[in-house]
Amino acid sequence: MATSWRYVTDGGIETDLIFNHGVDLPEFAAYPLVRTDEGRALLRTYYEGYLRIAEVAGAGLRLESPTWRANPDWGALLGDDARTLDADNRAAIELLRDLAGEWSDRVAAIRVIGTIGPRGDGDAPGSSSRPDEAAEYHAAQIGSFAAAGADEVAALTLTDTREALGVARASAAAGIPAAVSFTVETDGRLLDGTPLGDAVASVDADTPPAYFMVNCAHPQHLLPAFDEPGPWVERIRGVRANASTRTHAELDEAETLDEGDLGVLVSSHRALEQWLPALEIVGGCCGTDARHVAALWGV
């Protein structure tokens, strides 16, 4: 399938490692894997699956770091202090830089991305009461990525505009481009009820990030957001969809992996693409692996 998209990105790394590879990830955190030879080898194998998809598709690849949980609150639950988190965030970028160098003759455009997750959980409203509080909270991780030479940062699964504004402000202060990625419920709205278009416009009016994405929702759940399209749709350049049509609450309670219906995922994604003229980044999120992303790319 010929597309105008430019970048493959990966799938649901945590669900893939836990359910498909039997890896124990306490608190759903993949970042501690960078500390051991075995963990780094596992991560390399994981990312190489997506590098091969990009090679076959003739596209670029975004290597997004396994650091969604590598922030102070989640790190504290794992016993990790600020020094440890800084080392792990930097090590994750260094690992991806090495991979990018090894594949540079096969994949033309590779970008190394520092991944940020929400302070709270991706299925609950954010825990920052003000944008400046969120900016202060995320500044250390963003600083680690900038110091390690990441090309940009991507804040995934954000649930409200306050935290999104904080990330945008902290990234601007650190001098590194940022992608803000919201998640939505089945009605296409953020978890606090804000319409997706209003959330994008609100952040852009304060501190515009480089662009926006949407992740951790099935394409069928995203479609209602476009019942009232506007100029904001041009700001969304990436989609990382869930495999399952279940709600966040249902997925959170599930004890087995819902890999979804691959045909429904692809057909729903094709319907969504009609509303996204600037779409250039396509990958997956919870429940997806390289099979899902390859199907979306038609390879």
Q: What confidence category does residue 2 fall into, taking pLDDT thresholds of 50, 70 and 90?
A: very low
**Can you give the pLDDT at residue 229?**
87
- Asked whether the predicted pLDDT for residue 60 surpasses 60, the reply is yes
Q: Domain map of the chain by residue range?
A: 7-297
- Asked whether the predicted pLDDT for residue 299 surpasses 80, the reply is yes
Give the pLDDT confidence of 190-203 residue by residue, as tens digits: 998 999 999 999 99
- Asked whether the predicted pLDDT for residue 1 surpasses 50, the reply is no
Output the DSSP codes for the chain: ------EE----HHHIIIIIH----GGG--GGGGGSHHHHHHHHHHHHHHHHHHHHHT-EEEEE-S-TT-SHHHHHHTT--HHHHHHHHHHHHHHHHHHHHHHTTTSS-EEEEEEE--SS-TTS--S-SSHHHHHHHHHHHHHHHHHHT-SEEEEEEE-SHHHHHHHHHHHHHHT--EEEEE---TTSB-TTS-BHHHHHHHHHHHS--SEEEEESS-HHHHGGGGSS--GGGGGEEEEEE-S--S-HHHHHH-SS-----HHHHHHHHHHHHTT-TT--EEEE-TT--HHHHHHHHT-
Domain covering 7-297 in this structure, CATH number: 3.20.20.330
Give the pLDDT confidence of 171-189 residue by residue, as tens digits: 999 999 999 999 999 999 9
